[in-house]
Structure 1
Amino acid sequence: MLRKALGLLIVTFILASAAGVYAAEPETASFTIKVQSSGDVRVTPDMAQMWIGVQTDAETASEALAENNRIVGRLTEIFVQYTRPEVVKTSEFNLYRRERWDSETQRSVPDGFTIRHVFEVAVFDLEKVAQLMDDITAAGANIIYGLQYGLQEPSTARAEAYANAVAKAKEQAQALAEAAGGTTPVLEKLEETYYYGPVYAAEGGAGVSENATAFMPGQLKVSVSIEATFRSQLTVDN
């Protein structure tokens, strides 16, 4: 009987001790931290894009077309000297009849035909852009617009922008966690909220140097924005 009572006493003591240990380790509260950050990278462009073409006017459609084809033939020969044929494509071809106002009859009357033929052209050697402009102008091109610079492969710059954005997000989360008395935050969720990585756009546009056909492409800016969610634990003192 005494031995049984002693055994019950030992079991009770062990359970009480375990309960005391458990009570001595209170659960620590956790909280989430949400931050938004952005990352930018500036890179040198490695390609240019522009629209080049010719507009011809004549009394008849066939005359306008013949003259247009003559100049376009010269332009296409020049294009292949500066870039790959597969990156030259027609972006616009229009034939329309012109009209003018006849003050005597007080109505519009036919006044010939106009043809516009415009090509979208990409060039990958930026040092050749100025000479290309000179050559196509001499060949008869009278439509030139939209000179823009870009990247053939923006993924490397985009990855660097991501890295910058994530690093900033971690710094912000760490500062907030410390201010709240929390532990080092752990990343739980990450989302991209914005990306700007132009393939054909130079920041600030293309500048022109002292020479009329010498261009300065400047640099491109690749930007990303992210939203990150972290979790931190309150320290015992808090």
Structure 2
Amino acid sequence: MKTLFRAAALAGLMATAALPATTALAQTAPAADTMFRATTFNLSAYGETRVAPDMATINLGVMTEAPTAAAAMRANAQKMTAVMSALGKAGIAAKDIQTSNLNLSAQYQYAENQPPKLTGYQVSNQVTVRVLDLARLGPAVDAVVASGANQVNGIAFGLDDPSAAENAAREDAVKALAAKADLYARATGYRVSRLVSLSEGGGYTPAPPMPMMAMAKRESFDAGTPVAGGQLSVRIDVTGLYELSR
């Protein structure tokens, strides 16, 4: 009899201990159910601002040829030294000049049924120049060509500090997103309750250099080289999750 009583008591104790977990599960279930029954919109929008560039990068250099590799390197070094000096005189700081390519290659003459014949060596030395004052860009190009540069390969315009343009685009993007959410809510008979999440994409990306031309004659620059920066487009994309209510 005592054994039966103890078994019954133990069963009752186990049932009582399990009760809080069951109660807790019952309390959390309605919250989860409410979350899944919420009506939401997941929308995207973008903001865009156009600004004038305040800087440019330009790739230029010197190509030389000579019968020997040493002579080609020597000739190139002399001309490139003059180009660097011209850039400095044009107001370009040394920190804004970076060597981007230095190449020495053998040159061959090819004829049918004949082995290649070595004709000499070619050296190409190119630098990427960052110009923070666009008014100096045209005169700087003229100066380096006059000093011996015979390659100008590409130019790209950009922003030294894009944060102001990006922030303006962000504000436009958020306004467009909110307006779209209100429109969808009205069209479906709801109202926007709250913004649950917001994510961003896009932003300022420097444009790749645009090809210009290889130049070998100074005469074509006597009138000065005109350079137009135009405008840059800075775009920010946003995505937002909105919760709605009746």
- Do structure 1's residue 33 and structure 2's residue 38 form an aligned pair? no
- Pairing of 1:22-101 with structure 2 (within 5 A): 30-81=38-89, 82-101=91-110
Q: Deviations over 1:49-78 (max 9, x none)?
A: 010100000001111111101111111112
Q: What residue ranges of structure 2 are gaps of 5+ in the alignment? A: 1-33, 213-222
Q: What residue ranges of structure 1 are gaps of 5+ in the alignment? A: 1-26
The structural deviation recorded for 1:224 is 1.4
Match of 1:225 in 2: 237
Over 3 Å counting, the alpha-carbon distance change for 1:191 and 1:205 in structure 2 is farther
> SS where residue 216 of structure 1 aligns?
coil
The match for 1:215 among 227, 230, 241 is: 227
Over 3 Å counting, the alpha-carbon distance change for 1:227 and 1:181 in structure 2 is same
The structural deviation recorded for 1:102 is 3.8
Q: How much identity, in percent, do the aligned residues show?
A: 26
- Pairing of 1:121-136 with structure 2 (within 5 A): 121-136=129-144
1:185 & 1:176 partners in 2: Cα distance? 13
2:205 & 2:154 partners in 1: Cα distance? 14
Is the 8 Å Cα contact of residues 49 and 234 (structure 2) preserved in structure 1? yes
Output the amino acid matched with 1:183: R
Over 3 Å counting, the alpha-carbon distance change for 1:66 and 1:227 in structure 2 is same
Please identify runs of 4+ aligned residues in structure 1 that moved more than 3 A.
Answer: none
The structural deviation recorded for 1:188 is 0.9
The match for 2:192 among 184, 192, 195 is: 184
Match of 2:205 in 1: 198
Q: Would you say how many aligned residue pairs link Structure 1 and Structure 2?
A: 200
1:199 & 1:80 partners in 2: Cα distance? 25
Output the amino acid matched with 1:230: Y
1:98 & 1:70 partners in 2: Cα distance? 21
Q: Deviations over 1:137-190 (max 9, x none)?
A: 111101102111000111111111111111100000001111222223421111
Q: Deviations over 1:116-153 (max 9, x none)?
A: 00001000110111111111111110110211100011
- Pairing of 1:106-145 with structure 2 (within 5 A): 106-145=114-153
1:156 & 1:205 partners in 2: Cα distance? 29
The structural deviation recorded for 1:227 is 0.9
> SS where residue 191 of structure 2 aligns?
coil
2:193 & 2:78 partners in 1: Cα distance? 69
Output the amino acid matched with 1:199: P
The structural deviation recorded for 1:196 is 4.2
Is the 8 Å Cα contact of residues 153 and 211 (structure 2) preserved in structure 1? no
Output the amino acid matched with 2:61: G
Is the 8 Å Cα contact of residues 54 and 159 (structure 2) preserved in structure 1? yes
1:115 & 1:145 partners in 2: Cα distance? 16
Q: Scaled by the length of structure 2, what TM-score is found?
A: 0.76
